[in-house]
Each structure stands twice: as structure tokens, then as C-alpha cells.
Amino acid sequence: MNKRRASKPQAVGLEEALEWLERHATRSTLEGMARYGIPSERAFGVPVGETKAFAKRIGKDHGLALQLWASGWYEARLLAAFLDDPEQVTARQMDQWAADFDNWAVVDTVCFHLFDRTAHAWKKARQWTTAKAEFTKRAGFALIWSLTVHDKAASNQAFLECLPLIEQGALDERHFVKKAVSMALRAIGKRNPALRKAAIETSRRLADSGEASPKSIGKEALRELR
């Protein structure tokens, strides 16, 4: 039996990519974004699954990714995350993109599909967890969360050093930061038994806090980890 040949990457320019996104937009997708807290002023309304499939047809393209990001369109920035080559992503680019973050969906997509695979992931995760900007700070905790899944070689110590950052971040009452802090804590606890024990200890301290935000994060983590 003949093996099916893998399709060759499809060369695509910025204008063609934006035209593709516009053609594949649906009103229902655009209208549904508001229900998930995603701004739609600079969005076409393309389902994420279709955007990912388009990225696979194109293949890795660092130059196109930079152009798509600069366009400012929501789906273009998701596409940029799927297309960019993590080996070509610099620390400066990460900071520039982080400064543009304006919603949780772009943050999480970029962190889980690109930034966590770069050589600068751990450094930026630690830096951004103390950022003032809401979505940059979320990115710090989203990176920790994604690294628990994708960095198979990371030591327990690397994640243990994140727990104090999580305790400090738990004091931030902003919704999108708080949710990422909670997910990072629970993800660390799911990585292995040793980290689960450490995460439970952190969760107990948070649950005993007199502050509302840490208390809710700690209780939520305990319900899942115990």
C-alpha cells in the first residue's frame, strides 16, 4: 500500500492570510466572543479550529507571524501563535507581544502554542508574574501552567520556585489574573506526587488567608488536588 504523502507547506502572504480569515468568518462566532470576555472590535469571527487547520497548511513562518501580529486582528494573532517558530522567537519579541496582550484568549493561545516552547519561557514566566498590566501578569502564570504540561524535562525545583510567586499572585483580585494563578497552582499539583504535596501545602496556606482572593484560590485547589 502506498503511503499518503504529507502535503507541502503552502506559501501565504499577509494580505492573503487576512483575506482567508475574512472569508471564513461567521456572525455566530463573532457574536459568541462576548460571552467569553473576548473583545470583538478587531475580530473577524473565525472558529479557532479552522484557524489552526489553516496554520497547518501554511507551516512554520516566523516572518508572516510577525506581520500577522502587527495587524492587530484577533484571529491574525492566534494564527501568528500557531505559525511562529519558537526557535526564532527572541526575548524582546516576547516582551513586545506581551505589551499588546488585551484578552485572555490571545494570552493563553500564545503561551500554550508558542512561548512555552522558547528558550526564554522560564525567565519570562518569572518576570511577568510581577507585572502591573493585567494580561501580561496573566501570561506569567499561563506560562507556568503550560510549562507543567509541555516541559517534560523541567525539574521539580523549577516548579517549587514558582509556588511563592503563586502565593504573591493570589493577592491580585483581577479576574483574569486570579484564574491563571489558580490554574497554575493546580497544574503544578497534577505534575507528580511530590509537587502535589507541595501544591497542597501552598493551597492550605492560601485557604487560611484572611484575604478573599487567596482564600478562594486555595479552597478551589484543595478541592481538586485532595
Counted residue by residue, the chain has a size of 226
CB 151 within 8 Å of CB 125:
no
Amino acid sitting at position 181: V
Residues 178 and 117 reside in one and the same domain: yes
State the residue for C-alpha cell 524582546. Answer: 92
CB 180 within 8 Å of CB 131:
no
Instruction: Check whether 73 has a pLDDT greater than 80.
Output: yes
pLDDT-derived band at 34, boundaries 50, 70, 90? confident
Residues 70 and 106 reside in one and the same domain: no
Rounded to whole angstroms, how far apart are CA atoms 203 and 147? 20
Distances (CA, A) of 31 to 48, 102, 107, 221: 14, 18, 20, 33
Domain annotation covers residue 210: yes
Q: Is 152 left (phi over 0), alpha (psi -120 to 50) or beta?
A: alpha
Instruction: Check whether 30 has a pLDDT greater than 70.
Output: yes
pLDDT at 18: 97
Cβ atoms within 10 A of the Cβ of 49, count? 8
CATH number of the domain bearing residue 211: 1.25.10.10
Mean pLDDT of 120-143: 98
Residue 159 has φ and ψ, to the nearest 5°, of: -80, -35
Mean pLDDT of 183-204: 98
Q: Is 6 left (phi over 0), alpha (psi -120 to 50) or beta?
A: beta
Domain range for residue 207?
101-226
User: What's the whole-number average pLDDT of the chain?
Assistant: 95
Domain annotation covers residue 199: yes
Mean pLDDT of 109-137: 98
Mean pLDDT of 92-105: 98
Residues 80 and 116 reside in one and the same domain: no
Residues 30 and 108 reside in one and the same domain: no
